[in-house]
Amino acid sequence: MNNRPITEDDLHAYVDDVLEPERRAEVGSYLAGHPDVAKRVAGFADQRELLRATLAPIADEPLPPELNLSRIIEGQRRRSPPAWWAIAAMLLLSVGGFGGWIVRGSMEAAPGGLAALAQEAAYSYNVYAPDRLRPVEVRASDTAQLVQWISSRLNRPVKVPDLASSGYRLMGGRLVATQHGPAAMFMYDDDHGSRVVVLTRPMSSGDQNAPMTAQSNDGATGFTWADSGIGYSLVGKAPAETLRPVANEVRRQARAI
């Protein structure tokens, strides 16, 4: 009935019980007619059982604390590995191309400038920060992906600010649409679940460099500024005196690059 010769591989697959039922039957009847081979195969099967029985208790031992996966995950989240989501700031930019005209004026008079960015940041905060299900599109655990994605959409290398020293942990981020093109939004929370967002995008018009200004939009407090053509806005519900040092930290990191 069967013409396929039995191979060594078949014998091992027989021992490991990974043969198709039909082939298994063929090997079985071959072994029935070859007691010497059958003895060898039985020996392999015995040693397989011996190994499994000998080593099984190791897998039953309680896990030591250092192998607690939740703690390892938490540990990495807190540590903010310096390699890529780096020490520092957000946009490493090779300026150029965004020269354009510079408007220096009050925020009200420059709808494309700082005021617009502050407004966009407040919108993003109001929409995403209260979201319990999916506040961010890409989580902090996937920061490398987030950075790659945001960088490619903003056409420049982006780095995520590390606010751990201010007590805020990165939750993740997303791309948001603004009237002035794509912007990167990063969200953070502190130990009490209080959230802040940082919105950043190139200043396509107006306010290429602007000092930090405070504003209150739709019940949220924000600090907004621009450095070398890149605008930043940090928004949260915490008191202004709490948020200002955090904004200063973001600015410090961005300038430190």
Q: Which residues bind another protein (CB under 8 A)?
A: 8-9, 12-13, 15-16, 18, 40, 43-44, 47-48, 50-52, 54-61, 63-64, 66-67, 69-70, 72-73, 76, 81, 139, 141-142, 144-145
Task: Indicate the residue among 12 and 23 with the shorter CB distance to another protein.
Answer: 12
User: Considering beta carbons, is residue 64 or 239 the nearer one to another protein?
Assistant: 64
Q: CA dist 178 to 4, 58, 121, 160, 220, Å?
A: 68, 56, 9, 19, 18
Q: What's the min distance (Å) between Cβ of 65 and another protein?
A: 10
Q: Whole-number minimum distance, CB 51 to another protein, in Å?
A: 5
> 19 or 107, CB closer to another protein?
19
CB of 187 to another protein, least distance (A): 15
Minimum distance from residue 195 beta carbon to another protein (Å): 17
Q: Which is nearer to another protein, 45 or 102 (CB)?
A: 45
Q: Which of 105, 119, 110 is nearest to 199 (CA)?
A: 119
Least distance between another protein and beta carbon 143 (Å): 9
Query: What is the Cα 75 distance to its own chain's centre?
Result: 15
Pairing of strands 181-189, 138-139: unpaired
| Strands annotated E in the chain | 138-139, 169-178, 181-189, 195-202, 210-217, 220-227, 230-236
Give whichever of 139 and 156 is closer to another protein, judged by the CB atom.
139
Rounded to 5 degrees, φ, ψ at 216 are: -125, 115
CA distances from 35 to 30, 40, 41, 42, 75 (A): 9, 9, 10, 10, 58
